[in-house]
Structure 1
Amino acid sequence: MIAAIMVGLTAFTLAGFLLPALWYEVFDRHDPGRILLAVAAVAIVFALYGRLLWLNLMRRTAPGHRFGLAAIAVICWTLPPLLGTDHGWGNALLVPAGLIAVVLPVRPATAVTAAATVLTPAYGIVLGLPALSALYDFAGVPLAAFSGYVQVWLFHVVQELREARAEMARSAVGEERLRFARDLHDVLGHSLQAVALRAEVAERYLDRDPGRVRKELTEIQTMARDSVRDVREVVRGYRATSLRTELDGMSAVLRAAGIRCDRPEVSPELPAHVHEPLGWVAREAATNVLRHSSATWCEITVDAGRDRVRVEIVNDGAPRRAAGGGSGSGLTGLAERITAAGGRFTAGPAGDGTFRVTAAVPAAPAPRGAA
Structure 2
Amino acid sequence: MQPRIPRPTVIAAIIVGMTMLTLAGSLLQALWYEIVDRRDAGRLLLALAGTGAAFGLYARLLWQNLMRRTAPAHRLGLAAIAVICWALPPLLGTGQGWGNALLVPAGLIAVVLPVREAIVTAAAATVLTPVYGQLLGLPALTVLYEVAGVPLGAFSGYVTVWLFHVVQELREARAELARSAVGEERLRFARDLHDVLGHSLQAVALRAEVAERYLERDDGRVRKELTEIQTMSRDAVRDVREVVRGYRATSLRTELDGMSAVLRAAGIRCERPEVSPELPAHVHEPLGWVAREAATNVLRHSSATWCEITVRAGRDRVQLEIVNDGAARRAAGDAGSGLAGLAERITAAGGRFRAGPGGDGTFRVTAAVPAKGDA
Distance 2:168 2:115 in 1: 20
Question: What is the aligned partner in structure 2 of residue 14 from structure 1?
Answer: 23
Query: Contact between 1:183 and 1:234, CA under 8 Å: does it hold in 2?
Result: no
Query: Contact between 2:134 and 2:143, CA under 8 Å: does it hold in 1?
Result: yes
Query: What root-mean-square deviation, in Å, do the aligned CA atoms of Structure 1 and Structure 2 show?
Result: 3.5
Distance 2:240 2:123 in 1: 74
2:103 to 94, 107, 118: 94
Distance 1:78 1:28 in 2: 21
Matched, 1:111 2:124: no
Question: What is the aligned partner in structure 2 of residue 37 from structure 1?
Answer: 46
AA aligned to 1:43 is G
Distance 1:235 1:122 in 2: 74
Question: What is the aligned partner in structure 2 of residue 367 from structure 1?
Answer: none
Q: How do residues 216-231 of structure 1 correspond to structure 2 at under 5 angstroms?
A: 228-231=241-244
Distance 2:234 2:245 in 1: 17
Question: What is the aligned partner in structure 2 of residue 63 from structure 1?
Answer: 72
Distance 1:69 1:107 in 2: 16
Which stretch has the larger CA shift, 36-45 or 172-181? 172-181
1:143 to 148, 152, 156: 152
Query: Contact between 1:3 and 1:54, CA under 8 Å: does it hold in 2?
Result: yes
Which entry has the higher C-alpha Rg, 1 or 2?
1
Matched, 1:183 2:196: no
Query: Contact between 1:113 and 1:141, CA under 8 Å: does it hold in 2?
Result: yes
2:94 to 67, 72, 85: 85
Query: Contact between 1:49 and 1:72, CA under 8 Å: does it hold in 2?
Result: yes
- Residue identity (%): 72
Query: Contact between 1:57 and 1:155, CA under 8 Å: does it hold in 2?
Result: yes
- CA drift at 1:192: 8.6
Distance 1:169 1:74 in 2: 49
**Higher RCO (C-alpha 8 Å, min separation 6):** 2
Q: Aligned in 2, Cα 1:51/1:224: closer, same or farther, shift over 3 Å?
A: closer
Distance 2:36 2:19 in 1: 25
Distance 2:96 2:44 in 1: 14
Question: What is the aligned partner in structure 2 of residue 232 from structure 1?
Answer: 245
- CA drift at 1:51: 0.9
AA aligned to 2:105 is P
AA aligned to 1:4 is A
Query: Contact between 1:94 and 1:140, CA under 8 Å: does it hold in 2?
Result: yes
AA aligned to 1:123 is Y
Distance 1:222 1:187 in 2: 10
Query: Could you tell me the TM-score, scaled by structure 2's length?
Result: 0.53
Matched, 1:47 2:56: yes
Query: Contact between 2:12 and 2:66, CA under 8 Å: does it hold in 1?
Result: yes
Q: How do residues 324-343 of structure 1 correspond to structure 2 at under 5 angstroms?
A: none
**Per-residue Cα deviation, 1:8-43 (whole angstroms, up to 9, x for no partner):** 121121111123321221122221111111110111
AA aligned to 2:27 is L
Tell me how many residue pairs correspond in the alignment: 231
Matched, 1:157 2:152: no
Three-state SS of the structure 2 residue aligned to 1:186 is: helix
Q: Structure 2: give runs of 5+ residues left out of the alignment.
A: 1-8, 206-219, 253-375
- CA drift at 1:94: 0.5
Distance 2:236 2:156 in 1: 69
- CA drift at 1:128: 2.1
Distance 1:141 1:218 in 2: 83
Three-state SS of the structure 1 residue aligned to 2:27 is: helix
